[in-house]
Each structure stands twice: as C-alpha cells, then as structure tokens.
Amino acid sequence: MASGMLSLTCPSSSSLSLPHHFKGGAAAAGKPKLLNQASVFGKRFVNTESFTRTTMAVALNVSRFESITMAPPDPILGVSEAFRADTNEMKLNLGVGAYRTEDLQPYVLNVVKKAEKLMLERGENKEYLPIEGLASFNKVTAELLLGANNPLILEQRVATVQGLSGTGSLRLAAALIERYFPGAKVLISSPSWGNHKNIFNDARVPWSEYRYYDPSTVGLDFDGMIADIKAAPEGSFVLLHGCAHNPTGIDPTPEQWEIIADVIQEKNHIPFFDVAYQGFASGSLDVDASSVRLFAARGLELLVAQSYSKNLGLYAERIGAINIVCSSADAATRVKSQIKRLARPMYSNPPVHGARIVANVVGDPELFNEWKEEMEVMAGRIKSVRQKLYDSLRAKDKSGKDWSFILRQIGMFSFTGLNKAQSDNMTNKWHVYMTKDGRISLAGLSSAKCEYLADAIFDSYHNVS
C-alpha cells in the first residue's frame, strides 16, 4: 500500500456506516461493482464491494514532520519579538545587545559609511572569497587582537580564518575540538552567554561550568572560579570572556588575570577566548585586548573567537574570525588547513562585504583613528547612562541597599540581580523587556529613560518576592 494511505477492510455485513451515496445501485442488489472515487469528510476514498468484503483506502493528510515539536523561543532574540508586539509607548527593549543612539535608534558608524563608499568607488566585484576569507581582513584582525608588531604574527604562528561573526567562529573552533581533541571538555563560566552551551551541544563537545558570579556581592566569585579550573581534567579548554563579560559585566582585575593564567598553565589547559567587545567596553582597543595578550605573551597556545558586530556596528554582516595561536609556524599552517576543511561543508566560504569594511577601516590610518573616536563616544554614552541609572536608584531607594555594583560592571550589560519573577514584573507591569536572568542591555537605554527604568527596578526588587 502506498505511504500515506490507510486501508480499512471489513466484512460486507459490517456495521461500518457509509454515506448514502455509497449504498444502493448494483452493489445493493448483490452484484459486484467497482464504484468511482468519492469524497467523504474532505478525504478521498476508493471503495471496492464484493459478496464477502468491502475494502476502502483512505488518503490521510499527515505530515512526514508530524513528530517535530515546536521549539521554544530563543531566550534573547525572543525578547525582541515580544517587544515588537507590545503597543505601550513606554516600552523598552533591553534584551538584545545592540547599540542605540540617545533617540534609541540603530546607529551606523560614519567610518562604515566611508568604507562602503570606497568599495563603490573601486567597483569591487562579488566573486567568491577563499575558504579562509579575505586576506587583508585576516591580517588586520590578527594585528588588532595581538598588536601589529607582535612576534607571534611576525613568526606566522597565528592561524586566522574569517568566520560568520562570533557565533560562527566559536562553532568552527568547537568542530575542531570535537574532531582533534575527542573527549576534551570545555569549561564555561556560570553564567555565560546563552548561546555558548548551544554551540558546544550541537558540536557534541562535552562541557561543564566553573563558578563566576557571586549573587551575595553581585560580583566575581574569584575563589570559586580558580578552584573549579584547578579541579578540571588536565588539558581542558577554558572559555574566557576577553572583556565585558556577558551577561554579568564583571571582569577580573589585571592581577586576577595573572592568577588565572598561572592556574591554566599549571593544569596544561588550553585558554579559549571569546572577544566580542574589543574597544567597545572601555573605549580602548588595547585595554580590551590586554587579557588575550597576557596569555599570548606567556607562550601559551590559545584560541580566540572575534566579532565585529558591536565595535563596528556590523551586526547583520556576520563578520568575525577564529584565531589559533600555535607553538610553531608549521603547526599554525596545519591547523589552518583543518579549519578550512571544517568550514567547507558548513558554509563553503564567508561573505565579503563586512570583511572589506573591516579591512578598509582598520587598514587605513585615518579611518582607523576616526573609528577609535567613534568607539569612545559609544562607550562613553553607555558609561553615562550607567552612572545615571545608579544615581536614580540611589536617590529612590532609602532601604540601604548598595547599588554600586552597577558602576563596577563594564560594557553594554548590567546584571541587576533580579530573579525570574522580578524580571517578569519588569516586563508585565513596566514593559521593560530583558532576559529572565536579570540582564539588561544599557546600550538600549537612553538618559531620558533612566528614571523610568529605576522606578521599574525599584518596584520589582522591593515588591516582588
């Protein structure tokens, strides 16, 4: 019987009830006859009657994908979907980490516009890039991360491959770990960016968490972090946020970074940095890369995933890179060949538009300096609303609660310490959209809305258990 057909066979004297137009005629008189197809309740039937049996085939409209269930909304991107459906004029979208102007509008950097104008003037084509991406992009990317005159670059010990922003670059690295370090575990901070676990799960790479956030201080649980890294199996990959930890906004101090490097080196672990906010956190490209450069200067082999979504505002261009610092140029050549091999069946080769923007901006001294100035302005605006939010909370809250953790955090996010019920109150009552772990994106906040947000936080913290 053909797939998608249901056969019903029963004796002719069966009590199966058929519509009136299936009865009578020759069949009713006891004479065998093949009836034409008929429609019953929207289905197609073929009816065959004899003296002894009636056979009826029913075509069913059942999808081959019937067993696939509805996926839950993404915990971050789903926030924006809910925000768009809200008609309240006071609504605030503080879920997704995307920079907004003081008018809460998306911002395209002036240097990006100039770089795109250069591309048009040059009449550059849209031919496929090599699997590893645009050569000029890879060059300036490694230099931006490690410093232009870094010996590692001069000795060709860095394998850089253009990836699909930070997410795609992390996914390439995860595939490399799964294939060439079978069974190795990745240690992820608790909490961490929500997509980290998804990436390693889909790559079939085992992971565990190390302590990072201390809710009692709304700060770093440094002792717990060190203890968990020490306890991990030797040769584990330790995923670190290069700067502006997401979601907490809490970074180790320079002295703590030194101790973290000591422990990783002693345990023969492999540091794996996620650098999504270089230059966007402090306003300085060099300051925000200092953690990575510290580890590299120690001679450690390491992995670094980079993204230009935030610092150049190239969110939709999906432009980033995976960098692997190796102990020799020969090892870097071999590693790069295998990353390319992994990329080929995933997406074949990366997009060119964003890569050319980065190459034009970072590779041109005038545009590069202008970019640094724009980053300082963006980082400065976030620092300003961070300060104003703190001032507003301090003025409203006479309970003695210390809100200074907001000022100690860095980057576009603030980890408010609100629990899920309190975060729900922020959304349901105040129309403030945020992730359920209490994280808010200050990049989506304006000075004019700081008082309103402080009211919402104050109410949620004190009036919702």
Distance CA 16, CA 12 (A): 9
Residue 225, burial from CB neighbour count under 10 angstroms (0-12, 13-18, 19+) = buried
How do beta strands 302-307 and 319-325 pair?
antiparallel
Catalytic site positions? 193, 274, 310
Instruction: Identify the helix (H) or strand (E) that includes residue 294.
Output: helix 290-297
Count other C-beta atoms under 10 Å from residue 68's C-beta: 8
Sole residue written with tokens 């004019």: 448
The residues facing 414 across adjacent strands are 440
Handedness of CA 371, 311, 241, 275 (dihedral sign): negative
Query: DSSP state, 131?
Result: T
Element (H, E) at 270: strand 270-275
Rounded Cα distance between 26 and 17, Å, is 18
One DSSP character per residue, 52-118 reads SEEEEEEE----TTTTPPPPPPPTTHHHHHHHHH---TT-EE-SS---B-TTS-B---HHHHHHHHH
- 198 Cβ partners below 8 Å, 6+ apart? none
Question: How many Å from the N-terminal Cα to the C-terminal Cα in the chain?
Answer: 61
Per-residue tokens: 356: 């050319």
- 8-state DSSP, 22: G
